[in-house]
């Protein structure tokens, strides 16, 4: 699936819920289904700075596509990073770099996060795009 197709799917899922408590619970459930990051990547080197809670993010590059794994010590944050991974993992570096990730605002996520969590969300996106940029540069060399 393309990034816009996955974003549309997520938007549809979030419209099923009336209030934000239900949406938060859904985010928590998504976090529980996040594939576990290999313990060797749960080091300071893989922590995303700018997040209120600890978030470890690892990226691998296989057959021209970027694959992400992550973990967090906070359940909401784990749900947020699981959404980002669902959209961006398995995509090409160019697709990741160009993704506007409008679904984040369209589902109301950013407006319902505390300022520090919203900053963390931005930091996660920035780090994922940075990984994609590095992989793209390696492809070109």
What pLDDT is recorded for position 114? 83
- pTM across the whole model: 0.93
Q: What pLDDT digit, counting tens, does each position of 114-130 carry? A: 888 888 899 999 999 99
Question: Number of folded domains in the chain?
Answer: 1
Q: Which of 81, 98, 76 is nearest to 47 (CA)?
A: 81
What pLDDT is recorded for position 93? 97
What pLDDT is recorded for position 13? 95
The answer to whether the beta carbons of residues 88 and 135 sit under 8 Å apart is no
- Residues with a catalytic annotation lie at 51
* Domain around 46: 3-140
The answer to whether the beta carbons of residues 112 and 23 sit under 8 Å apart is yes
Residue 85 maps to which CATH number?
3.90.1010.10
Range with the largest mean pLDDT of 20-34, 46-60, 88-102, 127-141 = 88-102
Average pLDDT (125-138) is 95
Region class of 63: left (phi > 0), else alpha (psi between -120 and 50), else beta: left
From CA 63, how far away is CA 70, in angstroms rounded? Answer: 20
Strands (E), the chain: 55-62, 65-72
Task: Determine the Cα angle at 57 with ends 54 and 59, to 5°.
Answer: 175
Helix, strand and coil percent figures for the chain, each rounded to 5: 60, 15, 25
Q: 56 has which bridge partners?
A: 47, 71
């Amino acid at each position: 699936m393309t990034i816009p197709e996955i974003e549309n799917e997520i938007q549809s899922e979030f419209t099923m819920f009336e209030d934000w408590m239900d949406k938060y619970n859904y985010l928590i459930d998504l976090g529980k289904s996040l594939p576990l990051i290999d313990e060797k990547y749960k080091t300071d080197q893989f922590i995303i700075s700018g997040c209120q809670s600890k978030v470890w993010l690892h990226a691998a590059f296989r057959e021209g596509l970027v694959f992400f794994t992550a973990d967090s010590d906070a359940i909401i944050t784990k749900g947020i990073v699981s959404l980002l991974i669902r959209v961006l993992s398995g995509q090409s570096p160019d697709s990741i770099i160009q993704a506007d990730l409008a679904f984040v605002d369209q589902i109301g996520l950013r407006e319902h996060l505390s300022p520090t969590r919203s900053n963390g969300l931005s930091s996660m996106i920035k780090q994922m795009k940075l990984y994609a940029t590095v992989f793209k540069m390696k492809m070109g060399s």
